[in-house]
Structure 1
Amino acid sequence: MIATVTILTSCVKLLLIPAYYSTDFEVHRNWLAVTHSLPIKKWYFDETSPWTLDYPPLFAWFEYLLSHVAPFFDKNMLDLHRLNYTSDNTVLFQRLSVIITDLIYSLGVYLCCSALKKSWKKDVVLPILLLANCGLIMVDHIHFQYNGMLYGILLISIAYMLQVSGSYS
């Protein structure tokens, strides 16, 4: 069930690739450029763009990892001095990065649902409600964020707490 819903929602997300995107698109593009172009000690002090890196270090490292895949789509997106840069390949890369990292969210949903007592509501309704969350789809795939990945990490943590405690009934 979870795999089917993940595939269906991913198809909807793929349809949103050419959709509107907010300034957060440029923020993340700039963070890719900052983490790719500058030494670590300058990541949080660069003022080339108004969109300074202001997320915790783990997220900066995430952007750094993405910046090594980005050149396969468009190396110009990593130019620190190209403010407000966009191209079809940049949009494609950034949208796909959100869709692919949403697999962490799907894993979190699967683990949480597996940790809960079996019932049709938890095996069918809960995964559909979580994976087809319109708010999350709009924020992550139109406004441009990585909340699904972060929620996935949270759900994975909750699932492991439920498994360790064994007290949920």
Structure 2
Amino acid sequence: ADRAGLERPGDRTPSAVVVGDAGSWEAAGAGLRHAAEAATAAHGLGDRPWWDARRLDIDLLLWRLRDQPDLASFVERSVGPLLAHDRTARPALLPTLEAYLAHAGRKAEAARELHLNRQTLYNRLARIGELLGTDLDDPQSVLALSLALRARRHTG
């Protein structure tokens, strides 16, 4: 496996991005370049000791587009009302949406992670749907929200 170190300010131990078996010397160079670029893209993704570069392709694409105004506009259109809500009101709803999406819409698992009873989670999800004007049971809406939250990590 190829590895590219990724150091963040304040970290005691650098993270690593791991790429699968290169297979040949010719492929090793491309694998190392991919790992290095994925390591740069992984900066804003949280504190983990390592990342599998093969699972970072969407984040790598969003990182490459990070300076494009269209990406920032997409994030603002998709989750801007929720971010505005969270700046002024409690409870903050962004963690609820993130947990819901991280668990692929499985409400019981999201509620467990957030230490909420299910009815409270349902109420928060309904409020999120109202704020964003979207249906959280619609696969296209969920995809757009997932991409917007991932893009947000790279756009500031």
TM band (smaller chain): under 0.3
TM-score (norm 2): 0.24
TM-score (norm 1): 0.22
More helix by share: 1
More strand by share: 2
Q: Which has the higher contact order (CA 8 A, sep 6+)?
A: 1
